[in-house]
Structures are given as structure tokens and as C-alpha cells.
Amino acid sequence: MNTEGRRLGRGFTTNASRLHLSEPLRQTAFNRLFAAIYFSAVLVLLFRHVRNLFLYPIPNLLSFCITSSLFISDLVLAFMWFSAQAFRISPVRRKEFPENLKRIIRDEDFLALDVFICTADPYKEPPMNVVNVALSLMAYDYPADKISIYVSDDGGSALTLFAFMEAAKFASHWLPFCKEHNLMERNPQVFFEAKHHHSSSPHFEKIKTMYEDMKVKVEHVVDKGEIVDEYITDDQRRQAFNQWTNGFTPTHHPTVIQVILDKSQDKDISGHFLPNLIYVSRQKSKAWPHHFKAGALNVLLRVSAAMTNAPVILTQDCDMYSNDPRTPLRVLCYLLDPEMKPDLAFIQFPQRFHGLNKDDIYGSEYKRLFKINPMGLDGIKGPNYLGSGCFFRRQALIGDQSTEIPDNVVNRPIKSQEILSLAHHVAGCNYENQTDWGLKRGFRYGSLVEDFFTSYRLQCEGWKSLFCNPERAAFLGDVPITLFDVLSQCKRWCIGAFEVTFSKYNTLIFGSQSMGVITSLAYSHYACWPLWCIPITFYSFLPQLALLNQVTIFPKISEPWFFLYVFLVLGAYGQDFFEFILAGGTIQRWWNAQRMWMISGLTCYLFGSVEYLLKSIGISTQGFSLTSKVLDDAQRKRYEEGSYEFGVPSPMFVPLTMAATINLFSFILGSIRVLKDDNDKGPSLEMVLSGAIVLNCLPIYRAIALRNDAGRMATQVTVTSAFISVTLCYASSLCFSKK
């Protein structure tokens, strides 16, 4: 069949030897035009602020404070808008043709792949889930002798090792089963939960029973917190678990490296070799910093260099399973392209999630962060690294572009004493001492968003990246299902972002010199992310307090400035809305995403900024607080019903509840006045703003007053917020009356 010039839907054309294609997004021209118009409007607004502040006499301190707060807020908004244009300037879309690969490569051309899976706590990250992730990756449609799975266990837990030993046994049945039935779902948990036509066959029943047996065993062990004697079935296992001696704790223990499957010896039930499966728990000592996930990944980089040294590395979080067995073939479409540029460092897939509720109430899809923006960056230097679902060229992490690194795979038996002792040596906690690991080599240290920081530094060094976004999700991960977990995760990201901003690698100064202005703006947008808290907080309180005291701070409808405000607000929201919908979103999801933006401004952005401050003056020492992946049934049920989960009495909820209360009162009071007053001059911007915030806060009112399940707002939070709100209103009335 002649496939030349065949139209491939969505506007791509190709011929039979093409491996990949890219094309600019259609909205680019509009984006640029709109940016020019909007930019002029922003300048006019800033001009108005400057004039009000410096050219007109200021009657009193209060109005000076109000004017300058509005000016600062709008400056931040302007900066965030401006830097975000970097994502809009040349977005591209790609497509790969893995079906064409077979024609041009032979089996031995497949590049060896080392897969890194990080886990850190068997109670927050259930070993059964981690094992399912590993099984889905081991079952890639790829020559098994080219795949090695490395599991980094920062929890140093025998329970996790046990789970993997069981998984290895199950793998010898599961992998041939997947291949025989050509399954797409190769995460056994997901596969068995879905309804399938195989479900009547005896083969299906048999493998399902095996899976259930393994699950029962692993969960039993995790519940007990130790490996029961009856499960220590042979000397090999006994020797392995004997490494957990009495003084062994998660934060203080020697290195444990266990080769669970060896591709040169272990076969599945159909007689094919299985991929390598290696458990690594690096040495930990309280005397040495371990640098969290970045540290764990660097240990895997070195251990894998000693054992298999594959030229391609996939980094994966322990909750991100493979949803498409052909993903590595897509990667080969780029890496085996004879025209591949030597400066390509990594290929990033979007983070996508399963188990989101219908309208994604917490905006956990992060469409902008994980899809729209990476497509935007793909047209410049390439997307930033998202921590998971990313294929690196090993060379980018261990050398510069000019170092020749032999792309050969180590071919010694990985269980040899020589290799194992080298692996132990490089996993030791003082191995990195006095070296450039984490500084100039490997995953970079110094930020809680090690992914963002690492790709930033790589791109500063001249490396590029690609965004690969196939229709069927390559990976699917878990989302946090309580608001507190969502906000805590985002707070960690904020602290990490500021760690980059206030380092010598500041994205605006260092970045613009090393990576060009446009890319550095994009990175600055993220690095300054927590700054959103400034405008959001001011706009949630200031105009409302003014409204309560019958003072207007925004232009009235009779003034031309009114329309400038209307244009700026509608323009920004409108563009955001269209981009969201064009990227496949729904109206409800967009609404929830913008609601989460407001909520974040009053919670995680704000608390993240404060915590960063405390950390930098040495008061707080917040580390990497893991996102919980454990499911509580009642919480899950409420999440599925679309009900916001407050529950915990966190101080983060206080400013949020205050904003909800104050906006409600100012809106009601304002409405009463409008109704009573005949010489009313139409809508005031203050009223529109507090009305919009009240709409956004509906779930909060419900959580305070109408619910009595465990997810309602904690009484402490309600009482504290009410008290501070009253004080704030009283104080504001004193200030405004002095005027």
C-alpha cells in the first residue's frame, strides 16, 4: 500500500519512512497579535498607577497604602502575564510513527533502557502500588534483554523488598500473559479492575488468582509491619532480609542492593528471559544530607552505570504506571532518527492521571503545567522536566555534549562480586562528598522541585528537550484526593520555586544570560509562581473592606478607565478559557481550575512563601513532605461525589475562610445599598469582584455551615477566621473613618 502523502488526521501528512513530525499550533498568530494588544493595555494600566502614586497629591497615608498595594499587585500580575507569553510564542504539536520503525531497525538496534522508580515510604506509598507500576514497565513491548528496572527505596523497607520478590515471581506469568493477549493495560491492578472479554477464560481466572494471592501476601506483610517467617522460603531470601539488623532505621542504615531478577538467568514460564529487576536502598546516615529524590536518582545513575549503563534512562514516580506498552518505541522515533541533534537531553511525556473526579474539583489535572505550557516550550528550547515520564539520554546527566561516552551496555554478569561491590561503593552516603554530583552533574540539588531545577540547569548548559504527547496517555498517576494534600504538594513546589529564584541561578539574571531571554522568561514564570499570592490576597480583601466602608477604589462605570479594567480581566480569563478548552478541557473543569488558582493564592502560595522565608532565616527546616497515595474509603467516596475535603484544622484554611466570609458580607451589604439607593450608577467593579469570589467560595460556605461529615471545615478554623475577620473589619472601619 502506498502510504506516501497520506493524510493522518489532525493535519499531519507523512510518508512511510518518516519517524516523527511537528507542526506549529494554529492559534500562534492570534496569540502574538493578542499579546501586542494586551501588552499595550497593561502599559496603560501601569501608567495610571504611576500617575496616581507620583503625580497627584496623595491625601493621606491610607490612600497611599491602597494605591501602592494595587500597584504592586498589578505589577505582579503584569509580570506573570508577560512571562507566560513565552509559552504562547511558538507552541508546537508532534506526532511519532512507531509503525515505521520496524522497517529501518533491527532487534539489536533497540537502545538499552534503564528504568528508575523512586519510592520513599511503604505506608504513604503502598508497596503493592509500587509493584504494579514496576510490572507495567517490565511488560513494555521491547526486547526484555534491553530493559533493566531499578527501584530506589528511600524508605529502606524490607516490606518493599518483599513485595518486589513476590512481584518477580508473578512477573514470570504476567509478562507472557500480556504479550500473548497483546494487552494495553499492563498494570495488573488496573487490568483486573476493568471489565474484559477474557474474563471467562480459565487462563484469565488462573492469573487473576495468582495476582490476588500475591496481593494478599504483600498486604498482610505490610499490615504486620514485618516479614512473617513462613514467607521466608529459601536461603536467598533469608540472607536478603538479614540485612535488616537491629539498628536499621529508614534514616540510618547501610546500602542494600538486591538483584531480584537477572536477565541472563531468569526466564518466564514461556521460556523467555525476564528483564533485570534490581532493588536499591542507598546508605543513609543522619550525618549526611541525602537530597531527597534528586539524591536517590543520582545513586541510581551510578549504580546503573556500574551494572547496565544503558544509554537511555526513564525516571518514574512510584505512582505513575505505564498505560501504553509501546511508549519506548515513540522515544526511539526521536533517538534513532539519523538527524537527531546531539544536544537533545530528554524527551518528556505529560503527567496524566487516573481517578480524577468528573469535574476535577482540585484542578489536579494541571492542564497548563503538564500539557499547554510544555507544548509552548517545545517550540523553543523544549519543555522542562516534570519529574516522571521522562526519557533522558544518560550522556546529558553525566557529561557535557562534547564528552564521548561509549554508548555500550555493560556486559558483565550483574551479580558478580566485582560489580556488586562497585555498586555498593557508589551508593554510599559520602561518595558524593567533594565531587560535582548534584552541582554540575546528575540531578541538581538545592531545590525541592529538583525536576524543574535540573532541566533549568541543563538548558542553561545548552541542552534541549522534546515534548511527546500521544493521544493515549503513556503514563497515568495518582492524584491527591483531599484539599489539604493538594495544597501541601503545591506548597512544596512553591518553596522549591523560591529556592531557585533566590539562588545564584536566578532565572532572570543567570537564566537570561545562559539560555536566552524567552526561555528564561518561561522558567521565571515558574520560579516566581508563589508571587501570585500577592495580587490574589490583596484583591480578596482590600476592595471588599473598602466596599464595606463605602469607599470605591476601582474606577467607576462613568470613567473610561472602567473599560480598561473590563478588557484586562475578560481578556486574561477569556484567553485562559479558550486555551483550556482547545486543550481538551470542559467548562466545569476550567471553572474549578480557576477556583483552585484563587484558593492557592490564599493558601499554598502564601504559606509556601512564608515558609520559604522562615527556612531561609533558619527557623523552619521543612523537607520533602511526601504526597500520600493511600486511599481512605470515606474520603474517596466524598471525592467522587465532588465534595471538597477540608477536615484537618490547618492554618492554611484560615485566610481562605476569612476571604470567603468578608466577601460574602461585603457583597450582601453592597447589594442592599444598590437596591436601596436610587441614584445608583450601575455595577461597581468592587461588587463584581466580591460576587465572583463568593461564587468561587460556595463549597467553602457549604463546608462551614451545611455539612457534618468528616470533610467539613474544622470548627477551630471557622472560629479563628471569624475572630480575625471581625478584627480586620473593625480595624478597617477605624482607618477608613479617619479619612
Catalytic positions: 154, 451
Please identify, among the stretches 88-96, 106-114, 223-231, 315-323, the one whose residues bind Mn ion according to the rule CB under 5 A. Answer: 315-323
Site string for ligand UPG, 271-300 (x = CB under 6 A): ---------------------xx--x----
Contacts of 49 (CB under 8 A, 6+ apart): 67, 70, 71, 74
Tell me whether residue 476 or residue 652 sits nearer to Mn ion (CB atom).
476
Residue showing cell 471569624: 722
Least distance to Mn ion, CB of residue 221, Å: 24
Tell me whether residue 134 or residue 296 sits nearer to ligand UPG (CB atom).
296
Tell me whether residue 79 or residue 123 sits nearer to ligand UPG (CB atom).
123
Element containing residue 300 per DSSP (H, E): helix 292-307
Contacts of 341 (CB under 8 A, 6+ apart): 464
> Which of positions 665-724 make contact with ligand UPG (CB under 6 A)?
none
Give the three-class secondary structure for 425.
Answer: helix
How many amino acids of this chain bind ligand UPG (CB under 6 A)? 24
Identify the residue among 388, 465, 540, 635 touching ligand UPG (CB under 6 A).
388
Judged by beta carbon distances under 5 to 8 A according to partner kind, the member of ligand UPG, Mn ion, none in contact with residue 388 is ligand UPG
Tell me whether residue 355 or residue 691 sits nearer to ligand UPG (CB atom).
355
Of 275, 257, 326, 325, residue with least CA distance to 171: 275
Q: Is 492 in the site for ligand UPG (CB under 6 A)?
A: yes
Q: Are the CB atoms for 585 and 358 separated by under 8 Å?
A: no
Pairing of strands 20-24, 92-96: antiparallel
Contacts of 677 (CB under 8 A, 6+ apart): none
> Which of positions 137-156 make contact with ligand UPG (CB under 6 A)?
152, 154
Give the three-class secondary structure for 92.
Answer: strand
Site string for Mn ion, 606-635 (x = CB under 5 A): ---------------------x--------
State residue 346 phi and psi, 5-degree precision: -155, 160
Contacts of 588 (CB under 8 A, 6+ apart): 358, 359
Please identify, among the stretches 86-94, 283-291, 313-321, 429-437, the one whose residues bind Mn ion according to the rule CB under 5 A. Answer: 313-321
> Which of positions 610-629 make contact with ligand UPG (CB under 6 A)?
624, 626-627
Judged by beta carbon distances under 5 to 8 A according to partner kind, the member of ligand UPG, Mn ion, none in contact with residue 154 is ligand UPG
Of 149, 77, 148, 156, residue with least CA distance to 119: 156
What does the alpha-carbon distance between residue 609 and residue 76 come to, in Å, rounded to a whole number?
14
> Which of positions 540-599 make contact with ligand UPG (CB under 6 A)?
none
Q: Look at the alpha carbons of 371, 375, 380, 385 in this order and tell me if their dihedral is positive or negative.
A: positive
Q: Are the CB atoms for 351 and 477 separated by under 8 Å?
A: yes
- The DSSP symbol for 427 reads T
> Which of positions 269-308 make contact with Mn ion (CB under 5 A)?
none
Which amino acid would we find at residue 452? F
Judged by beta carbon distances under 5 to 8 A according to partner kind, the member of ligand UPG, Mn ion, none in contact with residue 378 is none
Least distance to Mn ion, CB of residue 366, Å: 12
Identify the residue among 42, 158, 449, 468 touching ligand UPG (CB under 6 A).
449
> Which of positions 310-349 make contact with ligand UPG (CB under 6 A)?
317-318
What does the alpha-carbon distance between residue 260 and residue 344 come to, in Å, rounded to a whole number?
33
C-alpha distances in Å from residue 4, one per residue of 9, 94, 195? 14, 19, 39
Tell me whether residue 125 or residue 579 sits nearer to ligand UPG (CB atom).
125
Interacting residue ranges for Mn ion, rule: CB under 5 A: 317, 627
Residues that bind ligand UPG (CB under 6 A): 118-120, 125, 152, 154, 292-293, 296, 317-318, 387-388, 448-451, 489, 492-493, 496, 624, 626-627
